[in-house]
């Protein structure tokens, strides 16, 4: 399961998961040739295509003095970028604890990440793919003030 040891930290507000590249390739099932490679440098300037969507996961508050036990989210902002040379990457945005506003510690839902990244790569390559299932959100509303993606304008959920 992705955690602090197998993701690349852009800063505390966002992360990349090059460790999940093999899972993305497996989900592509040879549909794209040559196989895409993971672009380790996150740069908007060099990207040829950009797509913003959401994935799922759980967060816990790292503040030991906070009474929050953690939270689940079906609206974790992610930006997928395609680069020349059949390269891609995906930047996942953090969320803050609603009690103390510390940045959370993310446990990524690997399946939602892999499904959404593989789907977008297939679409960009002109390969038909069934759209990943997006379940209706049940639970508390998305709080833009706690979403790092909303703060920089990339979260599709937008405003409270």
- Summarize pLDDT for 26-43 with one digit per residue, the tens: 999 999 999 999 999 988
Q: What pLDDT sits at residue 158?
A: 67
Query: Which two tokens mark 22?
Result: 């093999």
In a domain, 56, yes or no: yes
Strand partners, 129: none
In a domain, 80, yes or no: yes
Q: What pLDDT sits at residue 138?
A: 65
User: Per-residue pLDDT for 159 more than 70?
Assistant: no
User: Per-residue pLDDT for 129 more than 60?
Assistant: yes
* Other CB atoms within 10 A of residue 92 CB: 23
Place of tokens 């040739």: 33
Q: What pLDDT sits at residue 52?
A: 96
Task: Kindly report the backbone phi and psi dihedral angles of residue 30, in degrees, each rounded to the nearest multiple of 5, phi listed first.
Answer: 75, 10
In a domain, 160, yes or no: no
pLDDT band at 137 (very low <50, low <70, confident <90, very high): low
Q: What pLDDT sits at residue 139?
A: 65
In a domain, 64, yes or no: yes
In a domain, 32, yes or no: yes
In a domain, 158, yes or no: no
Cβ distance 28 to 20 under 8 Å?
no
Q: What is the DSSP string of 65-97?
A: T-----EEEEEEEEEEEEETTTEEEEEEE-BB-
Task: Give the total number of structural domains in the chain.
Answer: 1
Which is nearest to 80 in space by CA: 16, 1, 4, 153?
Answer: 16
* Other CB atoms within 10 A of residue 99 CB: 13
In a domain, 156, yes or no: no
Domain hosting 123: range is: 4-151
Determine if the pTM surpasses 0.85: yes
Which is nearest to 54 in space by CA: 132, 122, 107, 129?
Answer: 132
User: Per-residue pLDDT for 115 more than 70?
Assistant: yes
Place of tokens 């997006």: 134
User: Per-residue pLDDT for 106 more than 50?
Assistant: yes
What whole-number distance in Å separates Cα of residue 99 and Cα of residue 32? Answer: 45
């Amino acid at each position: 399961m992705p955690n602090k040891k197998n993701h690349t930290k852009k800063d505390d507000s966002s992360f990349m998961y090059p460790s999940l590249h093999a899972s993305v390739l497996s989900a592509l099932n040879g549909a794209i040739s040559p196989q895409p490679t993971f672009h380790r440098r996150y740069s908007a300037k060099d990207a040829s295509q950009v797509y913003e969507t959401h994935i799922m996961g759980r967060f816990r508050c790292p503040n030991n003095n906070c009474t929050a036990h953690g939270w689940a989210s079906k609206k974790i902002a992610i930006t997928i970028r395609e680069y020349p040379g059949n390269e891609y990457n995906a930047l996942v945005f953090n969320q803050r604890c609603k009690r103390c506003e510390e940045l959370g510690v993310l446990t990524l839902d690997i399946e939602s990440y892999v499904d959404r990244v593989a789907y977008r790569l297939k679409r960009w390559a002109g390969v038909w793919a069934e759209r990943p299932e997006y379940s209706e959100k049940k639970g508390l509303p998305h709080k833009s003030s706690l979403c790092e993606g909303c703060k920089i304008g990339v979260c599709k959920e937008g405003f409270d």
